[in-house]
Amino acid sequence: MTAAGGLAKHRGLIAAVVLASLGVAYQHQRFARAGARYDRFDLPGFDAHVYVAMATRPSVFTVAPWGYRLLTPALVEAWPVRTVRAFRDVSALALVLTAALLAALAFSLSGPVAEAVQYRFLVEPVTAALAAAFLLALASGAPVAALALVATLGALSKEFFLLLPPLVLIERQRLVGPGRALRDAVLVAVPAVAATALLRVGWTPYLESPLPRPGAALVATALERFSESFPEWRGALLLGGLLPLAVVGAWLPKGRPRLAASAYLFLVTLLSPFLNPVAFFPRDVPRLLLYALPAVLPLALVALDRLVPHLGAPSPPRPPRSWVAWSAGAALLAAIGFTWSGLDAYRRADLQGPRDGPLVLAVCRESLRTASRLARGEAVSFDLADPAFVWGETPLHRFDRMRWFLREGWGVRPQYGAGDAVMEGPQAQILVPILEARGLDVILEMASDTPGRVAAFVNGQRVGDAGVGSEATAFTFRLPATALFRGDNLLTLVAPAGTRVRRLRLKPA
């Protein structure tokens, strides 16, 4: 086949990619002109800080549930440009791919795509591309192994993908019968569920993963969120007029076979934000409707077909070739195996507390940097009298000025304080990052207006005590290797309220 013949054969795909690229480029330019520019010192929100932290070291856990969404940060880490630009490139390419698989211009110029372009530090573009690929593979009669591969990659991108395997039952029961369709749906779901459980149970067994707990309380919360927030996002629900067109298309003869699958996909897309156990923000709903576009666009095209005929007769799914099924199965096993082997056992402190993006970035970066220095035999010192990290003023690259190592018991937002760290109650915690379980000396310069004893515990094991008075005095507590683990260890001080810490020094024993 000549080059011209090859191009002619694929002219539809080429045209779709070109149109999709133009639409996404328009969205980028639209927000660039509006001043929506981000760099590594200026990020739009909490999620952006978490995903940028993940992209630095995806193999090390960050904070639940974002830390389990590995695929996009891993792609960003592998991208040959700096992190912020890599997020822009990966998001743009994923949106172009999704648009090319769907209705190019209608998708790329839609409101949800505009939201995703504006807030580029998210997993939605890659997840949406995988969702479109899943639906296309399902419609073309792809083997179960291929569907399971896409579903597993999707689950590694975002847990929303676990809601898609029932589409296999809905779509295939009229072709192969309900029994075999149910079997196929289960086989597609099992690897995705296994990969999700692997991350939560095998990688971070010490954390309670925030998953929705079924029950009346969950339903009541979802209904309350829906009713209270509906006025804020009801306009976005129309999807620029695509939803009314889809409703019309659903009742036309060509649209009825797609109705059940489209209705299910639209329903789970719309409801899932209101079941979020971590937090709910109405402004997120227009962006998350990105997942509803694959449900709406095919039916909207059916409606338009009555005005401008463009749809041909649907071709029956082709039976998959055996080598495709075997290749997909091998790729599925490789994906799960590669994911598991690439995970780092570093035990991350629970960062599910206040939604403080700079703090998450600081803990993730500075803890690993400190642990690496200690592993090389270097001592690390923190003088709390040094200039502090000021929210909104200090550049994000100066995380060395943030007191990221102060955990519970030091007051409200102690990471942004200045001067001595003061215990508010009878105990307080200090984060001690370790790469290797080896003996470590912790030297604390402390004082207290109320003389008394200071007892130190690391991960619950007592490691010493000392008397503290009004004069600042340096005390050394030796942390034995047997009490430490690879990760963010917690040193707990039990002392009179008001005890002050002026300096902290970590030194390999």
Of the pLDDT bands very low, low, confident and very high (cuts 50, 70, 90), residue 477 is very high
Of the pLDDT bands very low, low, confident and very high (cuts 50, 70, 90), residue 2 is very low
Whole-angstrom distance, CA of residue 373 vs CA of residue 361: 18
Average pLDDT, the chain: 82
The residue whose two tokens read 């390999």 is: 508
**pLDDT at residue 468 above 70?**
yes
The answer to whether residues 105 and 23 touch, using CB atoms and an 8 Å cutoff, is yes
DSSP for 409-422 reads TS-SSGGG--SSEE
Rounded to two decimals, the pTM is: 0.85
Whole-angstrom distance, CA of residue 56 vs CA of residue 390: 23
Q: What is the pLDDT of residue 443?
A: 92
Q: What is the pLDDT of residue 483?
A: 93
Of the pLDDT bands very low, low, confident and very high (cuts 50, 70, 90), residue 440 is very high
What Å distances lie between residue 177 and 80, 331, 498, CA to CA? 48, 28, 71
The answer to whether residues 437 and 506 touch, using CB atoms and an 8 Å cutoff, is no
Of 27-36, 219-228, 483-492, the range with the highest mean pLDDT is: 483-492
What does the pLDDT average to over 198-225?
81
pLDDT tens figures, 410-439: 888 888 878 888 898 899 999 999 998 888
What does the pLDDT average to over 491-499?
90
Within the chain, all domains assigned CATH 2.60.120.260 are found at 357-508
Range with the lowest mean pLDDT among 67-71, 177-181, 206-210, 436-440?
206-210
**pLDDT at residue 197 above 70?**
yes
Q: Would you call 455 helix, strand, or coil by DSSP?
A: strand
- Percent pLDDT > 90 in the chain is 25
Q: What is the pLDDT of residue 368?
A: 93
Q: What is the pLDDT of residue 134?
A: 92
DSSP for 447-501 reads E-SS-EEEEEEETTEEEEEEEE-SS-EEEEEEE-GGG--SEEEEEEEE--TT-EE
**pLDDT at residue 446 above 50?**
yes
**pLDDT at residue 384 above 70?**
yes
**pLDDT at residue 277 above 50?**
yes
What is residue 81's DSSP assignment?
S
The answer to whether residues 192 and 153 touch, using CB atoms and an 8 Å cutoff, is no
**pLDDT at residue 352 above 60?**
yes
Of 10-19, 135-144, 369-378, the range with the highest mean pLDDT is: 369-378
Q: What is the pLDDT of residue 467?
A: 87
Q: What is the pLDDT of residue 3?
A: 46
26 vs 47, which has greater pLDDT? 47
**pLDDT at residue 330 above 90?**
no
Whole-angstrom distance, CA of residue 461 vs CA of residue 509: 18
What does the pLDDT average to over 391-401?
71
Q: What is the pLDDT of residue 1?
A: 47
CATH 1.20.1420.20 fits 357-508, yes or no: no
The answer to whether residues 166 and 264 touch, using CB atoms and an 8 Å cutoff, is yes
Residue 507: phi and psi, rounded to 5, are -145, 130
Whole-angstrom distance, CA of residue 211 vs CA of residue 359: 23
**pLDDT at residue 14 above 70?**
no
Cβ-based neighbours of 208, under 8 Å, separated by 6 or more: none
pLDDT tens figures, 279-316: 778 888 888 888 888 888 888 888 877 776 656 555 55
Q: What is the pLDDT of residue 7?
A: 45
Of the pLDDT bands very low, low, confident and very high (cuts 50, 70, 90), residue 320 is low
